[in-house]
A and B are shown apart, each in its own frame.
Chain A
Amino acid sequence: MMRQLIPIALSLLLPAFAQAGPQQLLEQAQQAYANGDHKHALALYDSVNNQYTSAGLLYNIGNCHSKMNDVPHAILYYERALRLAPGAEDIQANLDLQRAKVVDRVNQLPAFTLGSVWGRLQGGKDVDQWARRSLWACAFMAVAAALAILLRQRILKRVLFGTAALALLLTLFSAGLAAYRVQEVERRSEAIIMTPSVEILGEPRKGSTRLFILHQGTKVKLLKEQDEWQEVRLSSGSVGWLPREAIEVI
């Protein structure tokens, strides 16, 4: 049993070694950003982003784009960061600032209250936090149950068994949320308009009826795809087709 565990334990440590390189790049990028050289900072962050990701990294990239007045890219990266860490206050604040610069004022359906509760439940933490929580809860459950078995005193036994049962529930709950979050992160069902303006057509065909025009920075939901065309839905509910190169998936 131990022999099988050793390689797994090593694989746990490996990412820590592998991060020595990117950590240096991050420090340089932070320095460049502090000096106001946002372009250089962006290049460094982007090179890290080729292999790695995290809410903090995406947020910093969004900040570089903001400073260079590239509103659609800033929004894109803030949205990506928020997807990894819903409810993060700093990301939300900067996203709101950039959204104020978007031309299109789409009538937003009022956010479902559960959505904000969900965001608060995440508390701006990373996608892995529920997985981590479930691991802790699982370990705690095992310890409590083992103590309950080993100890003799009746009252202690009962309390520990109750605790273990609660910990088991928490484990299952956290694992369920973790699974849901991973699925949510991987879904990639939204996109940001990147071209200054794009016509939304009624059909996936050049020259079909123009329904409306959207401008850079507006968020759309992705529906069907066909060849070079993408069907999208606005938060107001309108649906239409646009060329896929006009958008970038969050």
Chain B
Amino acid sequence: MKNFILAIASFLVTGFMAHAQEVTFQASVDRNQFATGENIKLTITLENASASGGITTPDMGGLVVVQGPMESSNFSSINGRMSRSSSKIWYLTATQPGTFVIGASTARVGGGVMQTDPITIKVTKGASSGGTSAATDQAQKRDANLFCTISLSKDKAYVGEQIIATYTLYSRYNSLQPRDYDLPKLSGFWAEEVDLGSTNWEPALRTVNGLQYRVAVLKKQVLIPLRSGKLTVAPMTLNYLVNPGFFSSGTPVRIQSNTSEVTVVELPPGKPADFIGAVGDLRMDVKTGGTTVKANEAIDLSIRFTGRSNLKLIDAPKLGLPPDFETYDPKISDKITVNGSGMSGTREFQYLLIPRHEGSYELGSLTFSYFDPSSSSYKQLRSEPLTFNVQPGDARSSASAGGPSRMEVQRLGSDIRYIRTGDLALRRQGTHLFGSPIYIVGMVVPPALLLLVFLWHRRREQRLGDQSGQRRRGADKVAKRRLAEAEAALQKEDRSAFHDAVGKALEGYFADKFNLGVSEVNAEMIQTKLGGMDDGRIAKEYIALIREAEMARFAPVESKPQRQTYDEAVAILSRIENQLRR
């Protein structure tokens, strides 16, 4: 009956608008590329015709039907034109990536058979978090209608390597109203939020173990582990009101996510000296405003790090400038974006250097090391060495206008003193100068030579001393003997012999005493040799005595008695002896 009416109606419609009504039969998908775990919508529509026996289900070619078919049909009349269509809708998903072909669907229209074109679908591998990980399975088991997970992009990472944490909510309820939440406190991580904009349901449903969920990513974080070991991300707790309506406030539901763990390993040994904790993939650019400046004028120096790394943790590198440069803390400007793939961008350190004295200063090449987790090795960045030529500055702008500035010598570091160069005064092992043959010879020879000198000198003295010395020492005795002769002559009253003996005694004594020949004895000589004694009296008396002895020998004149002459001679000799002994 219904068919009959429809047939009449269709006849009428075709009769009226046969020229305008075209019968179409086609299949379409909302997208022909999707990831595993996502859904696509397959719609097969027949327009302006009715299929006897309906639209057949096509061969899905390996895709899994999640929902459907849902049939719908509609009529519309626009400006008096009638149109109608009937369609079937399937939701499909894929369990594994690959290329799938949805086969043709057929419909019997009128006398013939219409057919849709096959559709090729490409399925990519979905995000790991979207799969049915163990964590998701467990969370689903706790409450199949509403659960949340925390998933980490890595379960093993180096200290300082970026990990992305995704906080995801799965729901099968139509309506949810958040009440409050408790996000995990992170310990051992340095966290950076990823800006997701507003939190919205993902457009496509996701299938977890055959159940369909609406999915929302609540939060994404870039986590940078700060220490090694097993670090955990504590579960988050969410409170929702389920299905609130006009009349009911809804049912409160409290859900808790899984606990995520990551094994953080220490960076391998062999850290370069200039490694300050950067992990990732970096590039360094060093730029300067100019290398020739005047003293006391500022130089701009910028060091820019670009790449994917924990950029916000990079500290200003040390420049190693000579202390004649005044340096201020660098200005840090960041262009860092944090997104689902981690932290990346640029961090720039801008230094202001002021050289205080002219000269040529070398700033060695700046080096910066980072750890590349993809190759598990340290990599070093090295800039071109910079040389600053500082020219004399304006006197007015000088730091101290009153002449060259003086400053204390600064100690920059400590190092051992340099090796000794030149002659190291080597000698054979185990030998010393002391006790060596050379030493013994050196110690024996000078005293031996001295002894030789002494012996030689004494012998010479002896040889010389035989004559003069003995004479001198004997002078006294000779004089006494002669005086004894004079004494005898005095007894015999032999005048001539007496005076002869006295004269000889006096002259001989003098000659012997002063080592002179007898002929050399005269008044002058006596005066020179004995003049200093007793204010010249001795010399005077001595000369007088000798004269008298000489004269009395030949002339029979005697100025005084012989006894007196004798006594005077004895007295003067003893006086001279006394004087000489003094």
Contacts and interface: CB of A to CB of B under 8 A. Distances in A.
State yes or no: do A and B come from one complex.
Answer: yes
B446 A139 contact: yes
Contact of B424 (A12, A15, A57): A57
A212 interface: no
B443 A135 contact: yes
A135 B405 CA distance: 54
A167 to B, nearest CB: 10
A54 B419 contact: no
Contact of A63 (B419, B439, B454): B419
Given A30-B419, A53-B427, A97-B416, A145 B450 contact: yes
B433 interface: yes
Contacts of A130: 434
B434 A94 contact: no
B450 A63 contact: no
Nearest to A181: B434
B435 interface: yes
A90 B447 contact: no
B445 to A, nearest CB: 8
B419 A128 contact: no
Contacts of B5: none
B429 interface: yes
A143 B432 CA distance: 26
Nearest to A136: B442
B557 interface: no
Contact of A93 (B417, B432, B435): B417
Interface string A1-45: 000010010011001000100100010001001000000000000
A22 B424 CA distance: 10
Contact of A146 (B426, B434, B449): B449
A94 B450 contact: no
B420 interface: yes
Contact of B427 (A33, A54, A67): A54
Nearest to B457: A149
B439 A131 contact: yes
A66 B425 CA distance: 22
B449 A8 contact: no
Contacts of A179: 434-435
Contact of A138 (B429, B438, B447): B447
Interface residues of A, number: 54
B419 A33 contact: yes
A130 to B, nearest CB: 7
A178 B435 CA distance: 9
Nearest to B417: A90
A141 B449 CA distance: 11
Contacts of A59: 419-420
A5 B424 contact: no
B412 interface: no
Given A8-B438, A128-B434, A185-B432, A52 B426 contact: yes
B424 A128 contact: no
Interface in A44-78: 48, 50-57, 59-60, 63-64, 66-67
A126 interface: yes
Interface residues of B, number: 32
Contact of B432 (A11, A48, A131, A175): A131
Question: Which among B414, B417, B418 has the highest number of chain A CB atoms within 10 Å?
Answer: B417
B556 interface: no
B318 interface: no
Given A132-B433, A149-B454, A22 B426 contact: yes
B415 to A, nearest CB: 8
B470 to A, nearest CB: 20
Question: Which among A30, A53, A93 has the highest number of chain B CB atoms within 10 Å?
Answer: A53
B1 interface: no
B453 interface: yes
Contacts of B420: 56, 59-60, 90
A126 to B, nearest CB: 6
A94 B416 contact: yes
B450 A56 contact: no
Contact of A48 (B415, B426, B434): B426
Contacts of B447: 138, 141-142
Interface in B137-153: none
A131 B434 contact: yes
B440 to A, nearest CB: 9
B437 interface: yes
Contacts of A33: 419
B79 interface: no
15 contacts: A8-B438, A30-B419, A51-B428, A52-B429, A53-B426, A54-B424, A56-B420, A57-B424, A93-B417, A94-B416, A128-B427, A128-B434, A135-B439, A142-B447, A175-B434
Given A30-B419, A52-B429, 15 more contacts: A26-B424, A51-B428, A51-B429, A54-B425, A57-B424, A67-B416, A90-B420, A93-B417, A97-B415, A128-B433, A131-B434, A138-B447, A150-B453, A150-B457, A179-B435
Interface of B: 414-421, 423-429, 432-435, 437-439, 441-443, 446-447, 449-450, 453-454, 457
Closest 7 CB pairs of A and B: A142-B446, A56-B424, A128-B433, A131-B434, A131-B433, A52-B426, A178-B434
